[in-house]
Chain A
Amino acid sequence: MDAKEAERHLATIRRIMESATQITVLPGWAAMIGGAMALAGCGVTYGLMKSMDFARLADLEPGRRIALISLWVGIAVVATGIDVVMTVRLARKKGKNPWSRLSQLAAFAMGPAIGAAFALSLALALRGTWDLIPAIWMLLYGLGVWMAGVLSVRAPGILGLVFMIAGVATLFWAGPIALLMVAVTFGLAHIVFGIHLIARFGD
């Protein structure tokens, strides 16, 4: 075998390996439900803060502030739970191992980013610097999704990129409308992502 033939074989291997990762177990319905929950959360948040700027959280009475924090933690936990349950269900339906090597790598990509977002949010909340928290979540959640997307179909990578761009924009310019940015990313972008998955993969 000469170098040219070996190169052709390597190119074939690369192409096939990319195709094999296209068959995936991303539950579109879970993304849509998560997005709808985030939109509802944004509505409740606006009702309590009467503003799009998370800096206003500092002016709220402690009871309302705790209610809002609990609401978002609850949304994150429930949305993650729904995602896990639906991923397992979809994997079983397709006869795949829900805890496959690809799923493990995706979890390893998401885990540190989410952990860092929690730690930073807690540190900022304890200092009363509420306005930076939405941008940090967009950036780090986006980074996790983007990293996980490297191992999957193209859509998660694009979703991650959208979150990161929105995170940078919120960090530097869009702080006063951060709630709108949360609605656009965690709400609408997830719903569009879910619709795309359902249209493309049928689940």
Chain B
Amino acid sequence: MAGIPSPEGLDKIIHERARLGVMASLAAGGEMTFNELKETLEMTDGNLSVHARTLEEAGYIKIKKRFVGRKPRTTMRLSAKGETAFRKYVDYLGRIVSP
């Protein structure tokens, strides 16, 4: 079993499928709007909002709300903490696949 990481090392916040999708999208796409994320991940408004809030509370993403003209626009991006956590999560999976 040497080399296989322990389950304690798994980041449970990222491990949830929808939140993993948000993290992976932001890792690849940089700053994305709420609608772009919704389209990419095929999620509902409510579902995305809930998971985005969880990630924001964990300090993994930064959410910015502003107005463009008269329309509200919400954008999200990974924080430095989020980038590190995502990289660690992917490394963790990699060590399970190739111990």
Q: Is chain A's binding surface mostly helix, strand, loop or mixed? A: helix
Interface size band for B: 20 to 34
B31 and A100: CB pair below 8 A?
Answer: yes
- Give the contacts of B1-21 with A (CB-CB under 8 A): 7, 10, 17, 20-21
Q: Fill in one digit per residue for A15-37: 1 if any B CB lies within 8 Å of its CB, else 0.
A: 01111111100000000000000
Choose one: B10, B68, B73, B97; the contact of A3 (CB below 8 Å). B97
> Which of A78-86, A90-98, A119-127, A135-143 forms part of the interface with chain B?
A90-98
Which A residue's beta carbon lies closest to that of B92?
Answer: A6
Which A residue's beta carbon lies closest to that of B86?
Answer: A13
Which B residue's beta carbon lies closest to that of A5?
Answer: B96
- The total number of A-B Cβ pairs within 8 Å is 73
A19 and B25: CB pair below 8 A?
Answer: yes
Q: How many residues of A contact B (CB 8 A)?
A: 25
A94 and B29: CB pair below 8 A?
Answer: no
Question: 18 more A-B contacts (CB under 8 A) besides A3-B96, A7-B97?
Answer: A3-B97, A6-B96, A9-B93, A10-B94, A13-B24, A13-B93, A16-B24, A16-B25, A16-B41, A19-B25, A21-B28, A21-B29, A94-B33, A96-B32, A97-B30, A97-B31, A101-B30, A102-B30
Offer 16 A-B interface pairs, CB within 8 angstroms, sorted by A. A1-B7, A1-B10, A3-B96, A6-B93, A9-B93, A12-B21, A16-B24, A16-B40, A17-B25, A18-B28, A20-B29, A23-B29, A23-B39, A95-B75, A100-B30, A102-B30
